[in-house]
Structure 1
């Protein structure tokens, strides 16, 4: 039976047995799974991980065991620190304080430095930040990795210079952690170094950069993000579209018009499917109304009128709980026009649909419809909804007159 199956079954005993495997890869994976399923009260699991963290011949196994103890909980991590420092806490557990953890970052044992970095990331104590920034230069890449990860938990701008330097680390894991931490901090100063990472050779780093740049409060990332829409990786392209939408929500009001124009210009030059698919996803599944509004607005300016997924999403958005999103969807459908839009909106006229959505559908049809639409609209002249009847009267009048 595989380690995954043992983990899924919660069989900690079998996973502990695997810590004695001749294969370092098996031991490392077993430690990782024990961190996922272990509990603080499970002392045999804690003891097994303590042995792996302090005596295993493979540094990656020791590192995985340290992380597993950290995942199990603070008490397990305390036992590791006691083991590595020789005990003698006299019942006061001094290592749980930020000062003791910071001191441990200078210990000879790299596993102790790793544990200290993890622990400082757990503590809500600002005094632990500078020692962690210093640990970004540690000689052991495992310590540098955990220091970068811990810096991200503080989301403190004081870590930016150190994290920026860590982007040049020789270990790609450290570089990814530093990029993530800068994205978490999210200030323009922290995000600026990520612009260059959009051309990085590591796909995951490009994705991290693309996903974080939407937090900027200035339009600088628009053009680089637009270029990222042509990235060979679909996950990078998807992250770039999400960030463009988020960026529109974040830029100052006085800049929003110029940024919108620039976004539309850049997105129009990208492949339609690359842009439309994530925009549709945002409009359909997005949890923030501002993002849905922007997705609805942009779709009407960059989608092809025959792109059924975009038209479908916009038509459904006519019933959005957010009135502005629904209005932007109607405006975009009007901008797109064409037979696909007509057919989809005609399907929205039935009484099973919300009244507001039906009224908006009628309004758009009055702007873009032809003879068939006119015939269909006349069927709703006596609709039960006054709002729909009013829109039908106006739309029919315009269509009979030959247009709006």
Structure 2
């Protein structure tokens, strides 16, 4: 049985056997990852197996995967690793006391333990650990520095900003990326200013890192630099800016969403093809509902003369399983209007597509349609679908009112 099959069946025992008996580092590494996904803190056998591998395996990547697995299972599992390596039992206590023990482990000679300690400190979220973590940003192991950046981002304390800014020039690209994301998450003026300055770099990779990170900021202050990046000469930077704009809307607190939406629409008004294409691709290909919803909404606000591909993707989105994506697509099609949209929607409502999608199409035709739509929609008042019939009667009334 494959690792995938074992994980799908929740067979932790089978995965443990593969982990402890396989001669293949790749198999052991993947087994660690899957055990982290399916196990919980009550699964003592799995925790014990991962602790053993984290300490004894002769391959660094496998040891690191075991630490990751313990980290996914929870803080208690990481505490067991700490206890195993230090030989000291970890007693229960307040978060600050646990944080103090993990902070001490950041000085361990064992990189995997330092990684685990950093991850655990981030999850505990205790601000007393910030000083120890910022000191650990100079660790000689880049994987440890990555974990420390992640932890500081999770804690989100402003005192970490200067040390994180220093990591923006780290020799490891991954460390630079995680430091940038942590700064964006913390979101102080100093942190965002450092990321905005990165957008002026001559290095494509640095601008891309900054564009990616700014999407985590949750403030309208980053809209302008992201909008400016949409004309960047580098394709990867432009794409990162588009994703960040949509991510910004996905993560922003509800009370700020209207402010940021208005700011973005103002910045992206009459966007060119280089801006629109990545948004169309997100709507067509993304598996994240919030991204697709925002992409569907934006296309109707920033596209004045869409190409056929944009219209087709919006029409296809009417068939989305996610009701909000479908509704936003309908709203955008109504905003765009025109003969090209009308033609695509007439084809949809006359097809054997799902009733929900056809009903949305009829709704939009009622808003934008002309004489062609009137004849088609009138015929749909006898449709087999009650939902389509209801929309058709309403659309007929609107269409007649405009004639």
TM-score of the alignment, normalized to the shorter chain, above 0.5: yes
- What pairs up with 1:5-404 in 2 under 5 angstroms? 5-8=5-8, 9-10=11-12, 11-18=14-21, 21=23, 23-87=24-88, 97-186=98-187, 189-195=190-196, 196=198, 200-201=204-205, 205=209, 208-209=212-213, 211-212=215-216, 216-227=220-231, 231=235, 236=240, 239=243, 242-243=246-247, 253=259, 260-265=265-270, 267-270=271-274, 273-278=277-282, 286=290, 292-299=296-303, 301-304=304-307, 307-310=310-313, 312=315, 328-329=331-332, 331-334=334-337, 337-342=338-343, 344-345=345-346, 358=362, 361-366=365-370, 372=372, 387-388=394-395, 390-396=397-403
Q: In structure 2, do the counterparts of structure 1 residues 83 and 363 end up closer, same or farther at CA, with 3 Å as the change threshold?
A: closer
TM-score (norm 2): 0.71
Cα distance, 1:61 vs. partner? 3.1
Which whole-Å deviations, capped at 9, do the CAs of 1:44-81 have from their partners, x for residues lacking one?
Answer: 43333333323334433333322322323333222221
Of 76-85 and 203-212, more deviation after overlay is shown by: 203-212
Cα distance, 1:271 vs. partner? 6.9
* Bigger CA radius of gyration: 1
Q: How many residues align?
A: 381
Q: Is the 8 Å Cα contact of residues 282 and 291 (structure 2) preserved in structure 1?
A: no
Aligned to 1:400: none
RMSD (CA atoms): 4.7
TM-score (norm 1): 0.71
**Structure 2 spans left out of the alignment, 5+ residues:** 382-388
- What is the DSSP-based 3-state SS (H/G/I as helix, E as strand, rest coil) of the residue aligned with 1:138? coil
Q: Which structure features the higher share of helix residues?
A: 2
Structure 2 distance, partners of 1:247, 1:119, is 24
Q: Is the 8 Å Cα contact of residues 33 and 66 (structure 2) preserved in structure 1?
A: yes
Structure 2 distance, partners of 1:287, 1:79, is 39
